[in-house]
């Protein structure tokens, strides 16, 4: 049924601009549309689009407790520029304490299982709470970010979180994202100018080298699909 809703939304908005689609969703699903930002370039574009039209779309972020200072800096600049409220969700303190007491602060380097456990505690569980009770989840996913995302639709049903996901920048290139940021003076993370394309937690993110895949800087010590559980693709 929810997959049918996703298909219907795709058809209904196929001739809409991104701004028109966001406004339509905000009106159609009042107080049930949320946007999750990690303050990356794509997310900053979407924040700017929402703020420029003063759309009633709730914006939230996940503070894992291990993000870069530069991420906090762009968080602060975004608040100052757009005068918007960005709600912050944290992991359960007891779960983090238990993980560190049992496995130490760097267990995620030891195995994919340990890394996914850390991601679940710090990101997936808080996200589940943030999405609960909502009907539309807006993300900054782009098709060219990884092979796993090449076949993503604009609207899809996320069975894991039981929500319709909207990926407005799906077909944008990184160059288009950067161009929008430059033209509209959108705040961006200073690490992007240092070779960081995809930015997550500080211990799990590095700059990429020339010719490397766009996701190579995330969990670089692994050969897995480089996902944390927030998005299955």
Residues assigned a catalytic role:
228
What are the two backbone dihedrals, phi and then psi, of residue 36, each rounded to the nearest 5 degrees? -100, 125
Name the β-bridge partners of 88: 61
Cα torsion at 137, 142, 186, 25 (round to 10°)?
Answer: -30
DSSP state of 189: -
Cα separation, 77 vs 169, in Å, equals 22
Give whole-number Cα distances, 110 to 15, 122, 204, in Å.
48, 17, 12
Report the sign of the C-alpha dihedral through residues 188, 190, 195, 200, in that order: negative
Token pair 């530069």 is found at: 70
Which run of H or E residues covers position 112? helix 112-119
Beta strands across the sheet bearing 58-62: 86-89, 58-62, 33-36, 136-138, 163-166, 155-158
Put residue 211 in one of left, alpha, beta given phi > 0 → left and psi -120 to 50 → alpha.
left
DSSP state of 95: H
Whats the size of the chain, residue-wise?
233
């Amino acid at each position: 049924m929810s997959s049918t809703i996703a298909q219907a939304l795709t058809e209904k908005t196929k001739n809409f601009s991104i701004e028109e689609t966001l406004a339509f969703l905000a009106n159609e699903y009042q107080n049930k549309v949320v946007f999750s930002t990690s303050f990356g370039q794509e997310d900053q574009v979407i924040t700017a689009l929402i703020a420029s039209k003063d759309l009633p779309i709730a914006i939230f972020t996940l503070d894992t407790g291990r993000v870069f200072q530069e991420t906090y800096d762009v968080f602060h600049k975004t608040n100052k520029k757009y005068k918007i409220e960005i709600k912050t969700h944290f992991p359960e303190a007891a779960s983090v304490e238990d993980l560190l007491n049992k496995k130490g602060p760097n267990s995620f380097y030891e195995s994919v299982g340990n890394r996914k456990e850390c991601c679940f505690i710090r990101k997936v569980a808080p996200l589940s709470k943030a999405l609960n009770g909502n009907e539309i989840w807006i993300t900054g996913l782009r098709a060219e970010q990884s092979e796993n995302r090449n076949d993503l639709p604009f609207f899809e049903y996320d069975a894991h979180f039981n929500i319709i996901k909207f990926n407005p920048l799906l077909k944008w290139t990184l160059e288009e994202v950067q161009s929008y940021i430059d033209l509209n003076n959108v705040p961006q993370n200073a690490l992007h100018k240092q070779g960081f394309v995809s930015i997550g937690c500080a211990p799990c993110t590095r700059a990429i080298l020339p010719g490397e895949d766009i996701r190579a800087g995330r969990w670089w010590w692994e050969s897995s699909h480089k996902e944390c559980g927030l998005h299955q693709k």
